[in-house]
């Protein structure tokens, strides 16, 4: 590890930033992709709409030109919803699936050819505990469906590209200490934490980032197609 080019979508969010920091601490070159340009001590974040195929192509071309071929891709971009299928409009449904699921497909297409040539690569998809138990009105149907699709995409890619030396895994986080978490109504936060066996939380984004780094490390060389639950026991399966 160290000196790899690592691309993290949603790279300037709370979890994306923690992941960039964790890779940078190992000496890797962390490059974020988010809705706006930004720079901090852990590296650059380039502006791109992850649902825009053309914008992503330009951004990845810039990454390859300035940093080299990515050998690690972390698909962390995501948005949530709420309510029932009657509450979420068709436009909201499409937008959530585009950000959470289609963006991962588009980004994988950008990094896969060079990984195949190099016969090595790590792809890590940040899903959700909602993908495990089907979600609820707290997440909305599109979020649960998109994260469930992300787990299936993980398994498909892992099986399809194992022969190429590429490992593909996922994490399924539960509630974590992020601005999105703190924006929830206190009563709602209490209800969510009540789903955890210990009743404590939320999780620390740095701990989640450590799990991501592990799955992208040589220590996880014999793991592919797996989903690591990082949700305080909210799901045990």
Classified as helix, coil or strand, 222 is coil
CB 141 within 8 A of CB 93: yes
Q: Which of 67, 214, 48, 75 is nearest to 146 (CA)?
A: 75
Q: Which residues contact 90 (CB under 8 A, 6 or more apart)?
A: none
- The catalytic residue among 12, 23, 42, 143 is 143
Residue 200 token pair: 């404590």
Residues pairing with 230 in the sheet: 173
> Is 105 designated active site?
no
CA 64 to chain centre: 21
Catalytic positions, written as ranges: 143
């Amino acid at each position: 590890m160290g000196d790899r080019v690592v691309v993290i979508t949603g790279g300037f969010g709370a979890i994306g930033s923690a992941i960039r920091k964790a890779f940078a601490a190992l000496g890797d070159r962390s490059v974020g992709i988010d809705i706006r340009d930004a720079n901090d001590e852990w590296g650059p974040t380039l502006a791109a709409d992850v649902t825009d195929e053309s914008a992503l192509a330009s951004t990845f071309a810039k990454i390859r030109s300035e940093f080299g071929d990515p050998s690690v891709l972390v698909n962390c971009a995501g948005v949530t919803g709420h309510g029932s299928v009657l509450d979420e409009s068709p436009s909201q449904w499409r937008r959530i699936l585009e950000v959470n699921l289609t963006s991962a497909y588009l980004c994988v297409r950008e990094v896969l050819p060079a990984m195949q040539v190099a016969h090595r690569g790590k792809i890590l998809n940040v899903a959700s505990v909602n993908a495990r138990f089907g979600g609820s009105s707290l997440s909305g149907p599109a979020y649960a469906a998109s994260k469930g699709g992300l787990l299936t995409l993980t398994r498909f890619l892992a099986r399809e590209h194992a022969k190429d030396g590429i490992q593909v895994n996922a994490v399924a986080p539960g509630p974590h200490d992020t601005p999105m978490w703190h924006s929830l109504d206190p009563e709602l936060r209490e209800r969510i934490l009540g789903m955890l066996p210990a009743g404590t939380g939320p999780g620390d984004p740095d701990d989640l980032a450590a799990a991501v780094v592990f799955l992208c490390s040589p220590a996880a060389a014999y793991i592919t197609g797996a989903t690591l639950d990082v949700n305080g026991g909210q799901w045990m399966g």
